[in-house]
Amino acid sequence: MKVVILAGGFGTRLAEETDYKPKPMVEIGGRPILWHIMKSYYSHGVREFIIALGYRSEIIKRFFLDYSYVTADLTVSTGNGEVTVHRRCQEDWTVHLVDTGLNTLTGGRIKRLAKWIGDETFMMTYGDGVANVDVQDLLRFHSHHGKLATVTAVRPPARYGGLAFNGDKDKVNEIVRFSEKPVAGDGWINGGFFVLEPKVLDYIDGDPTHWEREPMENLAKDGQLQAFRHTGFWHSMDTLRDVRSLNERWESDQAPWKTWTD
């Protein structure tokens, strides 16, 4: 199964880091947060990724072009330029790097990837958040309910998209209303880590569309949006404080999103 990662935004709230590089390339423990996200999926058996690029796309492309060599043991013959690889990188990834426009919004980026997504179920997440979501449990949940979209619901401070449930708020998973950045609510918010059917693209008009607004709102109205409730670790990277916090966790070997072994 393919994973779409949205990695094209300007990251303006983290301008100290993103003046010269895209937000997904801000580092945790010496590796871009994008790498951490992909490693987490890979630890659950996922190996094909579609990266939706925009701002400073060349930096992300260069990272992956160099990655297999930078992480390997090499012999370089300077006379003829021949390179022999002795130990290849651990990750057997297929990475599609797709420019989706500098000013395209999140929904528009997904829409632009239609030919890469094809006609199969796919996963999608943002390039600035880490979690210890059990991806296989998430996929089973999505397959069981049979709706078009599943969003992972988490419970950090209410500064993201709020989810209103139908019926008993702790037992029923059908979402009847989606509101971006509510003032108050039940505490469950959009944590990313989606599973989606290709028909969700029909809910997206084009480049100026925020995925988190009309598409998710209308999926909820149509009874096609379900919540996978994640009570484990989740953390987005929006501020320098977030960057410091995630780095401190990594350096102290207290990084719950590290679901892989070295």
CATH number for position 47: 3.90.550.10
96 by DSSP, 3-state: which? strand
Residue 221, H or E segment:
helix 214-221
262 in any annotated domain: no
Q: What's the CA gap between 190 and 161, in Å, rounded?
A: 5
Q: What's the CA gap between 42 and 92, in Å, rounded?
A: 9
Q: What's the CA gap between 147 and 134, in Å, rounded?
A: 19
Q: What's the CA gap between 122 and 100, in Å, rounded?
A: 18
Instruction: Supply the range of the domain harboring residue 111.
Output: 2-251
Residue 19: the pLDDT is 87
170 in any annotated domain: yes
261 in any annotated domain: no
Residue 158: the pLDDT is 47
Q: What's the CA gap between 233 and 12, in Å, rounded?
A: 25
Residue 262: the pLDDT is 77
Residue 217, H or E segment:
helix 214-221
257 in any annotated domain: no
Q: What is the pLDDT along the chain (262 residues), one digit of tens a residue?
A: 999 999 999 888 888 888 889 999 999 999 999 999 999 999 999 999 999 999 999 999 999 999 988 888 999 999 999 999 887 788 999 999 999 999 999 999 999 999 999 999 999 999 999 999 999 999 999 999 999 999 999 987 545 556 667 765 555 677 777 766 554 456 788 999 999 999 999 999 999 999 999 999 999 999 999 999 999 999 999 999 999 999 999 999 999 999 998 7
259 in any annotated domain: no
168 in any annotated domain: yes
Q: What's the CA gap between 223 and 135, in Å, rounded?
A: 23
Residue 183: the pLDDT is 46
Phi-psi region at 154: left, alpha or beta (left = phi > 0; alpha = psi -120 to 50):
beta
226 in any annotated domain: yes
14 in any annotated domain: yes
Residue 170: the pLDDT is 59
Domain count, the chain: 1
Residue 12: the pLDDT is 82
